[in-house]
Chain A
């Protein structure tokens, strides 16, 4: 069981826009082991797996599989070679049955033309049995639980004779019980000679299941360790770090009346039996930035959707300026003083073919000073736009330029400028500087602090720990849909400590967490 089945030698991947996703990554995988790759968002785990699975091409470096150098041009080649991948987002068709989903693309035939359903059912049933999957292969995908759907995805890879199975954050959609089941199955796979690559950021689970662990950070490997040779603290240490500390202290000033402008109480989102959000309570005060730290996928996105009105929670309240706005429409929430910078600026933050000015007024186009009796006053709108272009140093030809043709940083500035200009009581900023250049990012940070100084309460949701620590006055940490830590004194907390919470190693008491709402 000690021979290497897959070897990655100095894999480097640089994207067209200059982003270095992987840098000289070396990993060797031994046959029959469960090997975890851990890291936070942006560490390069997903990119690395895309390279292995043929979805992306490495810029340099080699992959050796079963002793031979290989280069997969697409995922079919990887699959045919015996590498299977279970993605985070399942690729299943709801109206198909389990059998159909498994055999699609590789159907057994009889008489040369017809699908041999008998054989298909027999084969898939046998496969399920062999791996102890208790599943009825004639059921429709739509009727399965999430855990069962994942089993189907795994069966798909096994049906194609996968020897190496890559699982990308498999437990993020499972209930605790389903996670236990999954781990039992993985051990069975191992016993049958399969090699498992387990990608995760949940260190407790990684510690339970892995033989060896590779830690990635900033596109590089920080070493491969035997499970028994490394502690959770040491792992956290290697995963979390702050490269750039920016001190914004000189920009901050205190706002005199720091009342709680927004309160979230007992927010809960439940999908069938799984809690996506559980009992989340906190308050945002005027004149402060409350940061939510956490690896993406732990419920933060759902929290933001519930607050902003894009999703209905199954329980809990959102109170803005002492009014219960939980069930308000998006328009009314905005009218009451809520503003929002969405995570996906291209999809949700702008209308790409529309002009800069059209985009920058979208949340207050009906303001009285921009309109006269019947028409919108173009002159005033242009003036307002130009005012904002100047204040935010937006690099554009003019107000009429199509906003989609601006650079990423400038597009984000348009979004921020717009929300800034609504003079909100509370601004929800989701990954506000994701994927943009440092100059624009810093500029946006200063604008956020400016808003904070003037009395807005800002809820900052970011997977970038540096950003959260640079900007926030108080911090809460999300893990697995719950608040696991509340940090009142940001100055004196280290990124390591936050990391322990983010990665599920540590957990504050209910009383300590209660401070998020009650302080």
Chain B
């Protein structure tokens, strides 16, 4: 299969793959290498996402728009609700404390770790909302 015949979903995997590899190897890589490598990975993922979007046909684009609006917005709303809840009841975050402590021991600042966790959790909530809404769009009325 040639590069141009890769289906749109495969382009997403090709785009996200290097990020997953860099995140996995983040402790092993020297810090001066990490930042440019992370930026290169993000640029690569952005290019693949653009290519993925261009390859989609119009119904798939409509499904994406619908899923981003409803699914991701709902995911974001749930993440914001959880953030408000966690702000008033910090014990709600106790499940992550062990992971944060382990990273603090490795010399990372706790605020940066919590920020990373918050951003990633919000992204995951939006992503999950998107996936559920996207699947619903295609399955409804079949």
Question: Are A and B interaction partners?
Answer: no
Q: Point out residues on B near A: beta carbons under 8 Å.
A: none
